[in-house]
Structure 1
């Protein structure tokens, strides 16, 4: 049987370039290590791109949208109709991520993976609707094998049709998907649900307790049946979360760096790494959100986020904000003078 495309390994970083890039950072006109994380990301990107002059010049943003059957458990402060309403808002340019995309001059698209409501044709919105939302994971797997493969194919398509890009920023929209992210986080970390659920759209303490109970109940049903990484996505994922994970995998396979957004995107990234561990060096992590489980997921991934702004919006908003930091790190690495070039004396 032919191996699924998402299991094919991504290219490995160039270790020789990484060594040379680290030496260059140590030879620039600054105290060694004084640019902190900016040095780390420039070195990582140099190794990924196989050059001592890394650049991020052609980023693209794709938001995946979808609804979740688990919303029937009353785990969100908003009705599911908000998902499709927000897709219209994305199309009209009125959402946070679309404002950021315009501000940063980054191409933006939406993939509708499965809103409960069918939508009219909208500018910048690709209709890839698998179904009217997933199944309720408290009762059954989120999706069947055919739907799972459709989601993975859509994520691949989002990258393959994005043109000649050098950074992918993924976002998500879906009422109920912070519950899905928490379930995936618990499944991958084995921590208690209470540690991984957050207020999402703004639920109260009673809602928070209900959300934790829903996650625990769902996982007790599915954990015994999870063997491979893809099982996590099919059983407890979401149409938009799975497409996002697939896009991360495909970007890495094509040598495109990925900027991961907040809690839900990090849960998708964790699942993607479980499916295909070779993609991990291609992932950069933008920020640590206000969702309590996010920091724990980042620790599990050994990821150091660039920002901490107490954000919990999603949509790819934190990743978009981190884009100029990555670009600045590249510019500093490329364009700063060495001690010899500048005629500056080194420290002892």
Structure 2
């Protein structure tokens, strides 16, 4: 008997992201009539073909029958500091547009015959303690909710260690389910106002860089918002 899942080891998770297979020879693409043609795979395309073939334990990167775009959504508490041109509550709106098929990413996925799955893991209107369908979000979209928005990293932890582990496990479960359903390729996306501020904080902390070195314009902020964003990253790194 155990008291729950074992502590999450992020190093093990990162190592598990590498493909367990490696093609015996540089991958070719299946051309017309199934013929192999390395000429169809120059440069970056050849690299992708080799990677894809390795994940499928074959030397030939054949066509994909099922691909799925998985979009993970979450609100960032730091967005309330005015670090984005988008409103702090814009995450839920983007999720609704994705579900309705009116978001640009949804339109592109539909045009390419790519399935779309949206998961509100940390959207304020879809927290695990409230109505799963809050804010007009379908229950299937909020089923993996970990918490209703994250903390403001400039003054508090975004999530607890337990919530972080739960979020990573939620992502693993989403990927496992897709594989069990026969999805051959997962494309990952994220939605969350303030996301680049948190990303810049992680970069600054991991690489020991100053906020000025890593903060960009993100959603297209003006100088005042850029200064607020830089100050938030600076405070977050100092606090952590």
TM superposition score normalised by structure 2: 0.78
Q: Distance in 2 between matches of 1:76 and 1:37?
A: 33
Decide whether the 8 Å contact of 2:70 with 2:188 is kept in 1. yes
| Aligned length in residues | 216
Q: Report what 2:158 is aligned to.
A: 142
User: What does 1:109-188 correspond to in 2, within 5 Å?
Assistant: 109-117=117-125, 118-122=134-138, 125-162=141-178, 163-188=181-206
User: What does 1:183-198 correspond to in 2, within 5 Å?
Assistant: 183-198=201-216
Q: Report what 2:50 is aligned to.
A: 43
Matched, 1:203 2:221: yes
Residue in structure 2 matching 1:53, options 60, 66, 70: 60
CA separation of 1:139 and 1:123: change in aligned 2, threshold 3 A: closer
Q: Structure 2: state its 5+ residue gaps.
A: 30-35, 126-133
Residue in structure 2 matching 1:64, options 61, 72, 89: 72
Richer in helix (by share): 1
Q: SS where residue 156 of structure 1 aligns?
A: helix
CA separation of 1:220 and 1:29: change in aligned 2, threshold 3 A: closer
User: What does 1:1-348 correspond to in 2, within 5 Å?
Assistant: 2=6, 4=8, 7=12, 9-10=15-16, 12-15=19-22, 17-18=23-24, 20-21=25-26, 30=39, 35-55=42-62, 56-117=64-125, 118-122=134-138, 125-162=141-178, 163-222=181-240
Q: Report what 2:130 is aligned to.
A: none
Q: Which structure would you say has the larger RCO, counting Cα contacts within 8 Å and 6 or more residues apart?
A: 1
Q: SS where residue 120 of structure 2 aligns?
A: strand
Residue 43 of structure 1: CA displacement?
2.1
TM superposition score normalised by structure 1: 0.56
Residue range with higher mean Cα deviation, 68-77 or 43-52? 43-52
Residue 46 of structure 1: CA displacement?
2.3
Residue 161 of structure 1: CA displacement?
2.0
- Aligned-residue Cα RMSD (Å) equals 2.8
Decide whether the 8 Å contact of 2:69 with 2:116 is kept in 1. yes
Decide whether the 8 Å contact of 1:91 with 1:124 is kept in 2. no
Residue 58 of structure 1: CA displacement?
1.8
Q: Structure 1: state its 5+ residue gaps.
A: 223-348
Residue 82 of structure 1: CA displacement?
1.1
